[in-house]
Amino acid sequence: MKHKTAYFVGIKGVAMTALAVYFQEKGYEVIGSDVAEKFATDNILKKRNIKVNPGFFPDNINKNYDLVVVTGAHGGMTNIEAEKARKMGLSTYMHGEILGKLMNKKKGISISGCHGKTTTSAIVASLLVHSGFNPSYIVGSASINDLGEAGHYGQGEYFVAEADEYMTCPITNKTPRFMWQKPIIVILTNIDYDHPDAFTNLDQVKETYLNFIHNLPENGSLIACIDDPNVSDILPRVKRNVITYGFSPRSTYRIDKVYCGKETIFMKVLFKNMELGEFMMKIPGKHNLLNGLAASIAANMSGISWDSIKENLKLFTGTKRRFEKIGSVNSTLLYDDYAHHPSEVVATLKAVKEWYPDKRLIIIFQPHTYSRTKALLHDFSKAFTLADIVIFSDIYASKRESNDPTISSKILTAEANKYKRNAHYLAEKEKILKYLSENVKGNDLIMTMGAGDIFSLQKDLLTLLKKLIV
């Protein structure tokens, strides 16, 4: 029997690659196209023998494709390949649309929030997998440490996916991506102002989340972090079953006590003041305890016992580009993180300081998009005060935007130095490596940070450290 074929326009993005893996596991032949630059997913596509056409050309599209999936990053439906597919009458969908269609055939668990979606989704998937549920899942990372690829086609009844508030297609369809999903459980980690190209203000973001929550059926459930003031603000207007979690005494599930071990963190959890016991995690930070608790509640609602959850939670060690340990040379450590919003930066730096209080912390931050950097400049300028040294490289522009001369990393550096004189603007890789060669010490922790291609610096950094640290 002939295999069906799925073609992915802009296949290298983490969410697109995860979906490509899903379709390959479902039995499709998968082909795609993308730009030539390095992506965190390159090795996965190569390992999976998924052909990636370099660049976008109409001739890449032919009538034999059963499905065409389009990213929003390269013009969306105005991409020349997407336009050709639609003219030929091929089934052509934006990523958010097809993800919703797939989820809605199963029992969906949607993980929403401005921060923490990827980690929380990955934990839910991990708990379900290790409990034998064989869920389908699409997670916005290149890979999940204990599971492998971040996409999977499972025979089980559950479908786990991130629920993203951003636009389906910035040019042709402003519908928030998560509005295509009709889950039975929604996790809401937090609400923050982000994506200034999509939202005018925080109130608009709140309304968007409220609309999504009511995609739940009347017997569906919202698992919400009551510690977040913006989440707490909309809860009185939610007309669905609400389960809250957090450190707050008002929480249905409350983190009562926290303590750290060696590269582990423990929490004692209460359910309506009844003790559920101790949960151990191998990823740092109180924000990740909240992510772990939210995922655990969803897993328990799906039929997994608390004893199994406690055991399986220990197996989760993170995802690609989330507090990812790249390597070490003697006592000098090298990490990478995806944080690209001020709130994420602060949470990550706090987590680093909790696990490594004696390390000197050097952050190499690549701002992501002109619009975000400009809109959140004040918050970004204060976000790095826990770092001992912060290096700002040039802004990584979105494929959807052009250069904005009114904002730059040079401006960000000047603003950051008003709060703590620890910031340096070093635009090029060579300048960053030169600075580090002259300033690295034996007990440093160096972390690349950002949603662009700053991770590609890691190989050179590791080589440099091996030369410097004896």
Give the residue numbers of the binding site for ATP: 113-119
**Tokens for 364?**
């190499």
What span, in angstroms and rounded, lies between the C-alpha atoms of 219 and 331?
52
Indicate the SS3 state at residue 318.
Answer: coil
Annotated binding site: 113-119
* Measured CA angle at 145 (ends 130, 462), to 5 deg: 165
Cα-based distances in Å from 289 to 120, 285, 293 = 10, 7, 6
Q: Which residue has the tokens 């983490």?
A: 14
The helix/strand count (H/E) of the chain reads as 15, 23
DSSP 8-state class, residue 47: H
Sheet order of strands, 67-70 included:
51-54, 29-34, 5-9, 67-70, 92-94
Give the residue from 309, 288, 284 showing the smallest Cα distance to 298: 309
What span, in angstroms and rounded, lies between the C-alpha atoms of 158 and 85?
31
Residue by residue, DSSP assigns 61-85 as --TT-SEEEE-STT-GGGSHHHHHH
